[in-house]
Amino acid sequence: MQSQTNERFGSSVWLEYLPVTQGVASSSLVRTARQRLSDFDSLFCFMSKRMRMIVYPNFKINIGLNIIRKRTDGYHDLQTVFYPVDTICDELEINKIGSGLRLTVQNVENLCADEDNLCVKAFRLLQKHYPIDGVDIRLKKNIPFGAGLGGGSADAAFAIKVYNQLFNLKLTNEQLRQFVSQLGSDTAFFIDNSPAFAQGRGEIMKPINLDLSGYKIEIVKPEFSISTKEAYAGVTPHPSETDLMQSVQQPIEKWKTLIHNDFEDSLFVKYPQLQEMKQKFYDCGALYASLSGSGSAVYGIFRK
């Protein structure tokens, strides 16, 4: 299936075939890395004794995205389902140092200023409330930017969890969610990093029982990216005609007619390649295909 689909997508960037287990998609490469470090909690414990921690921020896909209304604060109320995928991960290493802050980023062509990096913003946010100082941040970006996969949000969430451990702040997950929700609408999702139904700006979440372990997910990102600002500029908010929370509990075979991403309405007109990608997934046998978030990545869910 992968080679056949690769040929049909031509020059688009093929992210990877994503087999799914236990609610989070995994590849043998990622599982091997995780086995070496046991699991996320023991990774924190093991590395923190050495004043150094290495974590692997994953990405997410959106299953459905209903843009309900524009708010007076400029944001939009929405409904979506976040689903974590960890086949492709960024690599984040944070070391405690005497003082100051150093940032090194790899695999990014157009670097933003250090203070605009979300890992740095997360640290500065904690500094306003706690007397912490001295970190060396090394980030290797593997999750593509402008794809609707939440890579930057994941980096911020994983970073603040690392700061919490390295500086022994003893913050709860709820406290961490409150902090990172100031950095992005989907950032709080990556604190618990498990399937969730999201409302508000995306920061109000309710855990849901959604297991795609019986399916495989394939993702393609075109060579262009789409900013969140660009995506929202073309939307017309409206109440949803279906109950997404109820729809996602239906068999996946029914999702095609029940679940919709509202960004597709305008972005498919502006970027016809995206609609073609989605259709190609269905041509290849996908049970459900969709734009992820505000794009530009498109995914398909297949039977194994």
pLDDT digits (tens, 9 = 90+) for 251-271: 999 999 999 999 999 999 999
Question: Do 258 and 242 contact (CB within 8 A), yes or no?
Answer: yes
Which residue ranges make up each domain of the chain? 2-303
Give the mean model confidence (pLDDT) for residues 210-236. 92
User: Could you give the angle at the alpha carbon of 262 between the alpha carbons of 284 and 280, nearest 5°?
Assistant: 15
Per-residue confidence (pLDDT) for residue 214, from 0 to 100: 84
Query: Which has more confidence, 15 or 186?
Result: 186
Per-residue confidence (pLDDT) for residue 113, from 0 to 100: 76
What does pLDDT average to over the chain?
86
Per-residue confidence (pLDDT) for residue 34, from 0 to 100: 40
Give the mean model confidence (pLDDT) for residues 198-220. 92
First to last CA, the chain: 10
Just give the CATH number of 2-303. 3.30.230.10
To the nearest whole percent, how much of the chain has pLDDT over 90?
73
Question: Do 66 and 235 contact (CB within 8 A), yes or no?
Answer: no
Does position 209 have pLDDT exceeding 80, yes or no?
A: yes
135: CB partners within 8 A, 6+ apart:
94, 95, 96, 97, 101, 102, 123, 163, 166
Summarised one tens digit per residue, pLDDT across range 96-145 is 999 999 999 999 877 677 899 999 999 999 999 999 999 999 999 999 98
Active site residues: 60, 186
Per-residue confidence (pLDDT) for residue 124, from 0 to 100: 97
Per-residue confidence (pLDDT) for residue 6, from 0 to 100: 53
Per-residue confidence (pLDDT) for residue 10, from 0 to 100: 53
Summarised one tens digit per residue, pLDDT across range 42-69 is 444 445 456 899 999 999 999 999 999 9
Give the mean model confidence (pLDDT) for residues 150-165. 97
Tell the residue number behind the tokens 């970073």, with chain if given. Answer: 159
Give me the residues paired with residue 216 across strands: 19, 302
178: CB partners within 8 A, 6+ apart:
188
Tell the residue number behind the tokens 């500065």, with chain if given. Answer: 124
Per-residue confidence (pLDDT) for residue 208, from 0 to 100: 96
Residue 49 token pair:
């004794």
